[in-house]
Amino acid sequence: MPRIHTSGPNPTELYYYEQGHGQPVVLIHGWPLSHRMWESQITALSEAGYRVIAYDRRGFGQSGHPATGYDYDTFASDLNDVMTRLDLRNAVIAGFSMGGGEVARYIGRYGTGRVAKAMLLGAVPPFLLKTGDNPEGVDESVFAQMLHGVKNDRLGFLGDFFYDFYNLDKHGQQGQELVAFSKWIAWAASPLGTAQCIIAFGETDFRADLARFDVPTLIVHGDSDRIVPLEVSGKRSHELIRGSRLEVVPGAPHGFAATHAQQLNALMLDFLKS
């Protein structure tokens, strides 16, 4: 089983899945899922001639479930270990939702020496939390309620969360199947990691990290995202990253990598080939 032993003060093991040959594309999943959320993208990108590497964040999927390290400095260090241990060069790094934070913090801390392009897909940057200098953000009570739900009834919380993740009222039978699949993935995650990641993506400010982006960047977001609203994330990241390309998918929920997979795959491939 392919695994990477991470470095730093909070070591663990990261599981990764690899498919295809060619320019490397690293896929970083969202919360509270695993690399399995990328099933459609792995197939489409590898068939198009790319080497796709999708790894599980610490605490999720088949990676280790340590008791520490659920912060973006550590997540970025983990991504750096993936990049260096696999000696990835001229790579494209793509992060969905919470995974967009890894892309941002990695570039902010480690630069783009190994990176050719970046993608932020339904991603949490630049800064979700409402503060005095971030009045467009999300009220702290939203994250407090999420944390309370995970700590007190994680399985029950996940059922409600994925309803809005896929806008189940709009996607019928397909949405029900995606909710069941996603709950199966999320149930296996570390309860501690699931909770601590809410604090990480809710409170981390990526604005300084985005200022360091100096590679072509694709931003894709659904205009019906109920989890990470376009107005507080994708649009603002587009404004902060010079020369970035913003693509808004009409009617797409947060989980558009599954509900609008063909559209997302087409956008990713067009960007990769451009």
Count other Cβ atoms within 10 Å, centred on residue 253. Answer: 25
Count other Cβ atoms within 10 Å, centred on residue 142. Answer: 15
Q: pLDDT-derived band of residue 44, with 50, 70 and 90 as boundaries?
A: very high
Q: pLDDT-derived band of residue 174, with 50, 70 and 90 as boundaries?
A: confident
Q: Is the pLDDT of residue 62 over 90?
A: yes
* Rounded Cα gap, residues 126 and 104, in angstroms: 9
Mean pLDDT of 116-134: 98
Mean pLDDT of 52-67: 98
Mean pLDDT of 20-46: 98
122 φ/ψ angles, rounded to the nearest 5 degrees:
55, 35
pLDDT, tens digit, 9 for 90 and up, residues 21-31: 999 999 999 99
Active site includes 87? no
pLDDT recorded at residue 1: 66
pLDDT recorded at residue 220: 99
pLDDT recorded at residue 116: 98
Q: Is the pLDDT of residue 250 over 80?
A: yes
Active site includes 254? yes
Mean pLDDT of 48-62: 98
pLDDT recorded at residue 50: 98
Domains of the chain: 3-273 (3.40.50.1820)
pLDDT recorded at residue 175: 77
Give the residue, 134 or 170, on which the prediction is more confident.
134
* Rounded Cα gap, residues 191 and 60, in angstroms: 9
In the block, tokens 């796709």 appear at: 52
pLDDT recorded at residue 261: 98
Catalytic residue among 225, 238, 244, 260: 225
Q: pLDDT-derived band of residue 13, with 50, 70 and 90 as boundaries?
A: very high
Determine what percent of the chain is predicted with pLDDT higher than 90: 96
pLDDT recorded at residue 178: 93
Determine what percent of the chain is predicted with pLDDT higher than 70: 99
pLDDT, tens digit, 9 for 90 and up, residues 96-120: 999 999 999 999 999 999 999 999 9
The model's pTM is: 0.97
pLDDT recorded at residue 79: 98
Catalytic residue among 29, 171, 221, 254: 254
250 φ/ψ angles, rounded to the nearest 5 degrees:
-60, 135
Q: Is the pLDDT of residue 127 over 90?
A: yes
pLDDT recorded at residue 27: 99
Catalytic residue among 34, 77, 97, 237: 97
| Mean model confidence pLDDT for the chain | 97
Tokens of 35: 């690399």
